[in-house]
Amino acid sequence: MNIKVTADSTCDLTPELVKRYGVTITPLHVTCGEDSFLDGVDITPDELYEKIRAAGKLGATAAVNVQEYIDVFSRLRQSCDAVVHFTISAQMSACYQNACIAAAEVGNVYVVDSKNLSTGIAHLVLDACDMARAGTDPAEIKKTLDARREKLDVSFIVDTLEYLRKGGRCSALSAMGANLLKLHPCIFVKDGQMGVGKKYRGRLGECLTAYVRDRLADIDTVDTRRIFITDSGVSEDIRAAVEKQLRAIAPFDEIIHTRAGCTVSCHCGPGTLGILFYRK
């Protein structure tokens, strides 16, 4: 059975992984002022940051619309038996709802609400690709990954609260206090929604060291087959230090670094980094 795996651009897979696994990406919309762009198609995160700095106000994002999903699913269904599509959490975007409407119109499209974002979605996407190559039925792929998503451990450290403040996700007073105290909150995803966890104090590199140590403290519960390091723009030294720390903690089969796309970067700003993995 020929099954095509697709995902929203919020999965933050690298171009290399997209090509290797044959994943089709459906881009969300990113706007800044009067300009509108397709995430990862005609704008990069660094270009978005520059536009935000020039405009002095935050950009915005919008879901893939129903017709866009219909166009992609219909085109793919001409050459495959079924499509399995992954969206950002339904609690964060209308993508899931729109994809389900399109799936009902096209037929033989199985939509999975990742209940997650960024490379939390990517874990599910790569697993689906492996299952599809093994000949697993699309309904079984969806059922399996609906269950497996509950084992995802997704979190990240934010360098600046300015983007979250501008986006209305924290108060100006909280942002000012955090900046003065050099606080870097840990944002985690649970039940499809973001929450604020431990707040780390100090320089970003020091906070990330403590954050990684905390997230992997119960290493016996961690699935060490694959872990993502995903950031929205940090120095190579910081990325290398995080990877070195991960390798010292556990023998991960794969440590994959990805750069967050415009949708995630638009809301978190530069300097955000997270480690994303499965629990056993």
pLDDT of residue 161: 66
21 and 140 together in one domain? yes
Q: Are 84 and 3 in contact (CB under 8 A)?
A: yes
Residue 116 shares a structural domain with residue 226: no
- Residues 166/58, Cβ–Cβ less than 8 Å: yes
| CA–CA gap between residue 57 and residue 62 (Å, rounded) | 17
pLDDT band of 173, cuts 50, 70, 90: very low
Residue 146 and residue 9 in one domain: yes
Of 97, 128, 150, the domain-final residue: 150
Give 65-108 pLDDT, tens digit per residue: 999 999 999 999 999 999 999 999 999 999 999 999 999 999 99
Q: Are strands 222-231 and 273-279 parallel, antiparallel or unpaired?
A: antiparallel
pLDDT beyond 50 at 174 = no
Task: Name the domain count of the chain.
Answer: 2
Q: Tell whether 184 and 144 lie within a shared domain.
A: no
Same domain, 73 and 137: yes
| 96 lies in the same domain as 111 | yes
Q: Domain boundary residue among 150, 166, 183? A: 150
Q: What is the CATH number of the domain that holds 181?
A: 3.30.1180.10
157 and 113 assigned to the same domain? no
Summary mean pLDDT of the chain: 91
Domain boundary among 100, 130, 150: 150
Task: Encode pLDDT of 115-145 as tens digits.
Answer: 999 999 999 999 999 999 999 999 999 999 9
Domain span including residue 53: 3-150
- Model confidence band, residue 278 (pLDDT cutoffs 50, 70, 90): very high
Distance, in Å, from the CA atom of 259 to the CA atom of 29, rounded to the nearest integer, reads: 18
pLDDT tens digits for range 182-210: 678 888 999 998 887 888 988 899 999 99
